[in-house]
Structure 1
Amino acid sequence: MSFQPFAFPSRRSYVVARHGLVATSQPLAAQAGLAVLQAGGNAVDAAVATVATLCVVEPCSTGIGGDAFALIWSAAEGRLYGLNASGPAPAALTADLVRGQGHVTFPARGGLAVTVPGSVRGWQLALERFGTRGLDTLLARPLDYARNGFPVSATIARAWQGSAELLRRLPDSSRVWLPGSRPPRATELFRNPEFAATLQTLAEQGYDTFYAGPIAAQIAAAVRADGGVMTEEDLAAYQAEWVEPITIAYRDGYAFHEIPPNGQGLAALLALNIVKGFDLAGLEYGSADYYHLLIEGMKLGFIDAQAYVGDPRQVDVPVAGLLSERYARQRRALIDREAARWPEPGRPPRHGDTVYLTVADEAGNMVSWIQSLYMGFGSGVTAGATGIQLQNRGANFSLEPGHPNEVAPGKRPYHTIIPGFITRDGRPWASFGVMGGFMQPQGHLQVGVNLIDFGMDPQAALDAPRFNWLRGREVALEAAVGEPVRAELARWGHALLPRETAVHYGGGQVILRDPDSGVLAGGSEPRNDGAAVGF
C-alpha cells in the first residue's frame, strides 16, 4: 500500500493496523467496536456494537428510532451484500391527507414526518447472517453509557444546543434530552435511564420487542399524539431486506458500489460515471478546473436522482439506463469547461445530523454502515418513556402529483444516507462514507476521486477542502480554497456563498485494505469528533 505525496497539509496522519480497525464519528463508539474485535468478534459484530453506542453518545444524529443501510463484504463468500433497513410511510399516510392539511411541501418535523424505524431490523438481518455475538454482548457498552452516563463531546454538544428549541416543544423530548431544562454542555455527563431500560429489553428479549408490545405501542402513540398516523400494525409489519448493490466501473480496475434506490447513492454513481471521462489526475489538485468539473458532474447526478429516485417496490426507477456508458457520455457532453450551467433531467434509456462507521477485521470482512434520524433529533418526537427519539425521514417525500417520490402508504422515501464501497480487480479495497444529508453523494465523489485519481492516503482524502453544491448555480467552498480559485469559478458563473457562511461539508471515515498484506489503513473526519482505532 503506497500513497502519493500530497501538497495539501493533512491535519493528522492515517491509522494503520493488522488485526482490525474501526472508524466512526465519536471516539467512545469507535472503542466499543474495537473491544468487540479484540474479544474475537467479527466486523459485523463490531459494527452493531459501534452503531448501538452511537445511538447513546450521539443522540442528535442517530438512534434506534431511525433507519440504516449497509454494504458488507463477506470474506468467506468473496462478495458484497447490500442491506436496506429503511422504513416506509404508515399505511394511512397519503398525499391527499397531507395536502388536505394545507401543506404544499412535506412537513419537516413532527408526527407526520415519522416513518417506520428500520435500524433494529437491520441489526437483526446483519447479525443473523454474519454475526458471531448476541445482542446481550454487543449492547453491554452502550447500555452502560445510557445507564451510568457518558461525557458529552464538543461537536455533539454544539449540535445538541442547536436543537434545543425543537426539543422544548414536547414534554417527553424536553424531559429526556434537556436535563435541568437545557442541553448538556461539553464534558458534562449525560444519562438516559429510559433508553437504558429499552436497551436492556432488547438485549434480554430480542428484536421483536421493538416492533411489538409496550415499546411499539409507545412509539405509535407518540406519533399519533403529534399529528401522525402510525399504528402498531405498521411497526409489526416491517422487515428490512437484502438488496443487490448498484455498481459502476471507474478506472484501472476500480469499481464503486452503492445501495440502490430508494437511497441517493445513485447520485454519486451518476456523477462518478460522468467525471471519469475527464483526465482529473492531469489537473492541478484544488484548481478551478478541478472544482468546476466535479461541481458540474455532481449537479447532473443530483438532477437525475431527484427526478427518478423513488421506492422501487412501487415505481419504476431506470437504474440500468441511468448508469449506462451511453447515457454518461450524453450527460458529460453537457458540461461546459468554462461556464456553470443548470441543465434539466435527462431521458435515460430504459431496460426491462447522521452517523457513519466502517469496520474491517483480520479475516477480510469489511462493513460500511450508516444510520440516521435525518435532521438533528429527527422529528423532535420522543416515544413516551422509552428514551427513543424518532426520525423525520418523511420530510423527503414529495407532494408533487405523479412524482416517483410522491408520498403513498407503505412507500419508502428518497433517502439521503448512503454507505460507500470500492473494489479493485474484484477484491475489497475501500469501505467509506461521508455523512451529512445531501452532502453525502458529494462527499463520496470528492473522497473517491481523492483516493483513486490523486492517490491520497485515507486521512488526506478526508482532510482535503470540499465544495457543497446547494441549488442551481449556488455552491459553497471551504475556507481553505484560495481566492484565485474562487475568483475563477465566479467568473465562470458559479454563485459562491461568502467564505464566512456556515455550511456543513460532511463527516466521513475511510478504511483501505492492502490486497497483498491485509494491512488496514484508516482515516476519520476532522470536521467532527471522529476517531479511527485499530490493533
Structure 2
Amino acid sequence: MLPTTFDHPYPSRREPVFGDSVVATSQPLAAQAGLEMLAEGGNSIDAAIATAAALTVTEPTSNGLGSDAFCLHWDAHRLHGFNGSGRSPAAFDAERILARGQIDPVGWEPVTTPGAIDAWFTLYERFGTLPMARLLEPAIRLAQDGFRVAPQTAYYWARSAARFGHLSGWNTTFTRDGRTPRPGEQVQLPEHALTLKTLARDGRDAFYRGELAERLHDHSVREGGALRAEDLANHSGMWVDPIALTCGDLTFHQIPPNGQGIAMLFALGILRELDAWGMDPDGVEGAHLAIEAMKLGFREAHRMVADPEHVPETPEEALQDERIHAIAMEVDLEQAQDFDHGVPKPGGTVLMCAADARGRATSFIQSNYMGFGSGIVVPGTGIALQNRGCGFVCVPDHPNVAAPSKRPYHTIIPGFVTRAGSSGPEPVMAFGVMGGMMQPQGQLQVGLRVMQGASPQTALDAPRWRVEEGLLVAVEPQCDDAWVAGLEALGHRIARADKSTVSFGGGQAILRHEGGWCGGSDPRRDGQAVAR
C-alpha cells in the first residue's frame, strides 16, 4: 500500500448533481442508502430515515443512536416541522450544576433523553411508505458487514481518543487494539447492528419502553447517571409549525425554539430592513452588514431560545417587522460593533436533504452535539449518548437555565425555502449547514448566495466567515486579501484560518430546478450529492 495523505493543498471542484430524485449528505455510503429507497419507489422521508440510520454507523463522530433530531418536510402541498429533542432527566441535579456554574461536557451530567429514534418512527408513521425494516437494512448491513472510514471522519475520530479514551464503553466500541481507524480502514460495529435489528423488529417502543430502555436505565443507575426508564417512557417529539421570514420573493423556514433557527431569521430580517440582502457577498460592504446582522441575530437568540414552555415570547412576536426594524437600526454601516452576542460553542452534527420525483423534499438533521457527545456508550448496544445538556446556561432566571425535565437550547436547524406560486407555496430548496453555532451563519451565507443565483454547489463551495466573540471574525484562507483589509478597516478583528475545515460548517442543499432537483454537497465534509 502506498503511503497516502488526504489533505487538500489544491483547489478542488465539484459540479452540481441533477436528477428527478436527489440525496445529499456528509457520507457517500449514507447517501447511497437513501438513494436505494428512492430507487424502490420510496419518498423523501423514506430516503431521509434510511440515510439518517446509515449516518449513525458511518459518521459516529457527529451523531448516533443516542442523538436528537429536527426535520422540515415538504409533502408536495405544505411544510411540516418536527422537533425531536429530548428533555433533561427528571433527576437532573440542576442545583449542583448552577452552584458550580458549568456543565461537564463528558460523562452522564450533560445527557438528555435521546429523541432521534422517536423522530424516525414518528415521521415514518405519518409519511413513510416502504417498510420500516427495509429503511434500516442499509444501516444494518454497514454496521454488521463493515464500512470503510472516510478521511474527515477518521480525523475527528482520532482527535476524540484523547477526550474519551478513559471511558471503557467508548474504548470498547470505537477503538481496536487501543487505536482509532485510519482513512479507508474497514470498521464493523456489530453491537450497533444488533440494536438496529431490534428496532427493525420491535419498533420504537424497544428503545423507549422495552429491552433497550432497560439497558439504558440500568447502565445509568450503575454509573450514577440521572437518566431513568421513566424519562424514556415519557419522551415524545413534537409536531410544530415552522417559523418563517420572507425576503424578496423567497420565504425562509426554520424550526421554532428550542432550536436556534430564529437567529438566522433575525439576521436575514435585519438585512432586509437595511436593503442589503442583495449586496455582493464577496464585497466588503455586503459582508460587513451580514456579519453585523448575524451578531445581532445571535444576541436575540441567546436572549430567548429555550424550551418552548419557557420562552419569554412567541417567535412570531419576536419576528414582527417593527421589532426587526428597531434592531436593524443598531447596525453602523461603517463600523463593526460588539453587540454582546456571546461566544459560539463547538458542535458536531449530520444533515441530510432528500427530494423525490413527486415533488416532496426533506431537510433532516441529527446530532450528538459535541462530536461523539457525552462519551457514554451503553454496553452491548452501540448507543452513544449525546451531551445536549451543555446547551443550557447557568444563569438564574434565564429562560434557558439548567433544570430537570426541560429541553435545552439546540444548535441543530434544518432549513427550507419556499416561494409563492399561482396556487400556493412552492418548494425552492431544502438545505442546512451543520456545525454548532456555525449553522445559522452558514445558512445565512449559503442562502444569500442562492438568492442571487448561485447553484447549490457554488453556494456551498464559496469561502465563509464565522462570527466569534466581540469583534473577532474568523475567515477561511482563500478569502481575498483586499476583502480582509476592507473588513479590518471597518473595525473587524479578522483571524484567517490555516485551513478550510468543518469549523466553517458543512452544508447540503437541494434546489428545485426545471421540474427536477439540483443538489450540492459541501467540500468541507466527506459527503456527496447523488441522484437518479
Residue matched to 1:298: 294
Residue matched to 1:52: 53
Q: Which range moves more in the overlay, 47-56 or 274-283?
A: 274-283
Following superposition, the deviation at residue 227 of structure 1 comes to 4.3
Following superposition, the deviation at residue 226 of structure 1 comes to 4.5
Aligned pairs for 1:4-19 within 5 A: 11-18=13-20
| Structure 1 unaligned spans of 5+ | 1-8, 346-352
Q: Is the contact made by 2:154 and 2:180 (CA closer than 8 Å) also made in structure 1?
A: yes
| Structure 2 unaligned spans of 5+ | 1-10, 342-347
Q: Which amino acid in 1 is paired with 2:69?
A: A
Q: Which amino acid in 1 is paired with 2:125?
A: E
Residue matched to 1:357: 352
Q: Which amino acid in 2 is paired with 1:159?
A: Y
Q: Is the contact made by 1:310 and 1:317 (CA closer than 8 Å) also made in structure 2?
A: no
Q: Which range moves more in the overlay, 219-228 or 189-198?
A: 219-228
DSSP 3-state at the match of 1:522: strand
C-alpha separation between the residues in 1 aligned to 2:220 and 2:480? Answer: 48
Aligned pairs for 1:79-478 within 5 A: 79-100=78-99, 103-251=100-248, 253-280=249-276, 283-343=279-339, 353-425=348-420, 426-452=425-451, 454-478=452-476
TM-score by length of 1: 0.93
DSSP 3-state at the match of 2:355: strand
Give a deviation string over 1:159-212, Cα, whole Å, max 9, x none: 101101223121111011011111111111000111111111111111110112
Q: Is the contact made by 1:85 and 1:119 (CA closer than 8 Å) also made in structure 2?
A: yes
Give a deviation string over 1:292-339, Cα, whole Å, max 9, x none: 111000000000100111111234333123211111111111111121
Q: Is the contact made by 1:36 and 1:138 (CA closer than 8 Å) also made in structure 2?
A: yes
Q: Which amino acid in 2 is paired with 1:263?
A: G
Q: Is the contact made by 1:458 and 1:512 (CA closer than 8 Å) also made in structure 2?
A: yes
C-alpha separation between the residues in 2 aligned to 1:58 and 1:223? Answer: 25
Aligned pairs for 1:455-534 within 5 A: 455-500=453-498, 504-514=503-513, 517-534=514-531
Q: Is the contact made by 1:436 and 1:505 (CA closer than 8 Å) also made in structure 2?
A: yes
C-alpha separation between the residues in 2 aligned to 1:50 and 1:31? Answer: 8
DSSP 3-state at the match of 2:372: coil
C-alpha separation between the residues in 2 aligned to 1:315 and 1:457? Answer: 37
Following superposition, the deviation at residue 243 of structure 1 comes to 0.4
Following superposition, the deviation at residue 473 of structure 1 comes to 1.0
DSSP 3-state at the match of 1:139: helix
DSSP 3-state at the match of 1:113: coil
C-alpha separation between the residues in 2 aligned to 1:502 and 1:462? Answer: 12
In the TM superposition, structure 1's runs of 4+ consecutive aligned residues that sit over 6 Å from their partners are none
Q: Which amino acid in 1 is paired with 2:149?
A: V
Note closer, same or farther for the CA distance 1:318–1:10 as it changes in structure 2 (3 Å cut): farther
Note closer, same or farther for the CA distance 1:410–1:461 as it changes in structure 2 (3 Å cut): same
Q: Is the contact made by 2:271 and 2:277 (CA closer than 8 Å) also made in structure 1?
A: no
Following superposition, the deviation at residue 225 of structure 1 comes to 4.5
Give a deviation string over 1:430-484, Cα, whole Å, max 9, x none: 00000000000001110110000x2101100101110010111111011111111
C-alpha separation between the residues in 1 aligned to 2:12 and 2:455? Answer: 10
Give a deviation string over 1:487-513, Cα, whole Å, max 9, x none: 221122111124427861000111011
C-alpha separation between the residues in 2 aligned to 1:341 and 1:227? Answer: 45
Q: Which amino acid in 1 is paired with 2:59?
A: E
C-alpha separation between the residues in 2 aligned to 1:227 and 1:168? Answer: 19
C-alpha separation between the residues in 1 aligned to 2:281 and 2:310? Answer: 43
Identity of aligned pairs, percent?
Answer: 45
Following superposition, the deviation at residue 281 of structure 1 comes to 6.5
Residue matched to 1:70: 71
Give a deviation string over 1:73-123, Cα, whole Å, max 9, x none: 011xx11000000000001114213235xx212222210100000001101
Q: Is the contact made by 1:111 and 1:225 (CA closer than 8 Å) also made in structure 2?
A: no
Q: Which amino acid in 2 is paired with 1:125?
A: T
Q: Which amino acid in 2 is paired with 1:11?
A: R
TM-score by length of 2: 0.93
Following superposition, the deviation at residue 344 of structure 1 comes to 5.5
C-alpha separation between the residues in 1 aligned to 2:120 and 2:203? Answer: 11
Q: Which amino acid in 1 is paired with 2:163?
A: L
C-alpha separation between the residues in 2 aligned to 1:441 and 1:486? Answer: 22
Q: Which amino acid in 1 is paired with 2:104?
A: P
DSSP 3-state at the match of 2:325: helix
Residue matched to 2:29: 28
Residue matched to 1:350: none
Following superposition, the deviation at residue 279 of structure 1 comes to 4.2
Note closer, same or farther for the CA distance 1:155–1:74 as it changes in structure 2 (3 Å cut): same
Q: Which range moves more in the overlay, 332-341 or 260-269?
A: 332-341
C-alpha separation between the residues in 1 aligned to 2:125 and 2:379? Answer: 29
RMSD, matched Cα: 1.6
C-alpha separation between the residues in 1 aligned to 2:159 and 2:12? Answer: 29
C-alpha separation between the residues in 1 aligned to 2:181 and 2:211? Answer: 29
